[in-house]
Amino acid sequence: MEGLWLVVLMIFEMALSVQSQLRTGFYSTSCLRAEAIVRSTVDSYFTKDPTIAAGLLRLHFHDCFVQSDGPSWSVPTGRRDGRVSLSSQASNLPSPLDSVAAQKQKFSDKGLDDQDLVTLVGAHTIGQTHCQIIRYRLYNFTATGNADPTINQSFLSQLQALCPKNGDGTKPVPLDKDSQTDFDTSFFKNVRDGNGVLESDQRLWDDAATRHVVKKYAGTIRGLFGLRFDTEFRQAMVKMSSIEVKTGTDGEIRKVCSKFN
């Protein structure tokens, strides 16, 4: 349940006053129990399907970056009826093919820094992707039949066994090989050790600035036994939530969640 409560807590924290008109208790007069209803509903669905936590994170990422320019951002796959489709379970913040420079630029354009980038990509500690997304890294990385040399050799064998060259491309692959349902720091240890599943994740180790943050979270003492990442992830989520917020008469609030006004 740890992953769920962290996500729910972050949803509430994102309502804190980052810009005017953003605050906890916004619906206190129109719907007194709004926040409690959200929490209990997410709780009930998480009990049935723990992967919903990764799906909710991804939907929020795309909500915040919905007006981002450029073709590399993944298309949101959450549905208008509020359900999260299977393909959205991988909380991919950058495109799997993005270079570190491209990731940095996208975040910088939205007022986020290298620390925010690595911290938020750490959401890949939960969720999954699919074989078709990573197969090029396993069999044809350089268009000559070679695997991505940054993949740890023992992990490469595991991935190739999970995703055969001509196998089912929709087969799920955990983004965190050690604890895909736990919101912890094992993702950063995987990147440090060459066990990043997405190329964009592993490339965080190639850049001096992003590698510094990865090392900080991966270290037991420097990471304060995981507490540093927990705290800074929440802060980064709140910061991201302040991107181009629509307030006042900007935008609209749906009267019925499943229908456009």
The CATH number that applies at residue 204 is 1.10.420.10
Residue 130 annotated as binding site: no
**Is the CB of residue 68 less than 8 Å from the CB of residue 105?**
no
Tally of domains within the chain: 1
DSSP code of 111? Answer: T
Q: Is residue 170 in some structural domain?
A: no
Q: For tokens 């180790």, what's the residue?
A: 205
Per-residue model confidence (pLDDT) at position 223: 66
Sequence letter at residue 110: K
| Integer angstrom CA distances of residue 151 from 98, 138, 197, 225 | 17, 9, 8, 26
The model's pLDDT over 195-209, given as tens digits with 9 standing for 90+, comes to 999 999 999 999 999
Q: Is residue 187 in some structural domain?
A: yes
Residue 29 annotated as binding site: no
Q: Is residue 250 in some structural domain?
A: no
Element (H, E) at 173: strand 172-174
Per-residue model confidence (pLDDT) at position 16: 46
Q: Is residue 229 in some structural domain?
A: yes
Q: Is residue 201 in some structural domain?
A: yes
Residue 168 annotated as binding site: no
Q: Is residue 135 in some structural domain?
A: no
Per-residue model confidence (pLDDT) at position 222: 74
The rounded distance, in Å, linking the Cα atoms of 188 and 254 is: 38
**Is the CB of residue 13 less than 8 Å from the CB of residue 232?**
no
Residue 184 annotated as binding site: yes
Per-residue model confidence (pLDDT) at position 47: 87
Sequence letter at residue 152: N
Using 70 as the pLDDT threshold, list the residues of the chain that sit under it: 1-22, 65-96, 223
The model's pLDDT over 27-64, given as tens digits with 9 standing for 90+, comes to 888 888 888 998 899 889 888 888 788 888 887 777 77
Q: Is residue 10 in some structural domain?
A: yes
Q: Is residue 97 in some structural domain?
A: yes
The rounded distance, in Å, linking the Cα atoms of 58 and 222 is: 28
**Is the CB of residue 56 less than 8 Å from the CB of residue 43?**
no
Residue 176 annotated as binding site: yes
The rounded distance, in Å, linking the Cα atoms of 8 and 198 is: 26
**Is the CB of residue 190 less than 8 Å from the CB of residue 138?**
no
Per-residue model confidence (pLDDT) at position 46: 85
| Pairing between β-strand 128-130 and β-strand 172-174 as defined by DSSP bridges | antiparallel
**Is the CB of residue 190 less than 8 Å from the CB of residue 148?**
no
Q: Which domain holds residue 69?
A: 2-127+175-240
The rounded distance, in Å, linking the Cα atoms of 86 and 97 is: 21
Q: Is 216 helix (H, G, I), strand (E, B) or coil?
A: helix
DSSP code of 128? Answer: E
Give catalytic residues, as residue numbers. Answer: 62
CA angle 109, 13, 59 (to 5 degrees): 55
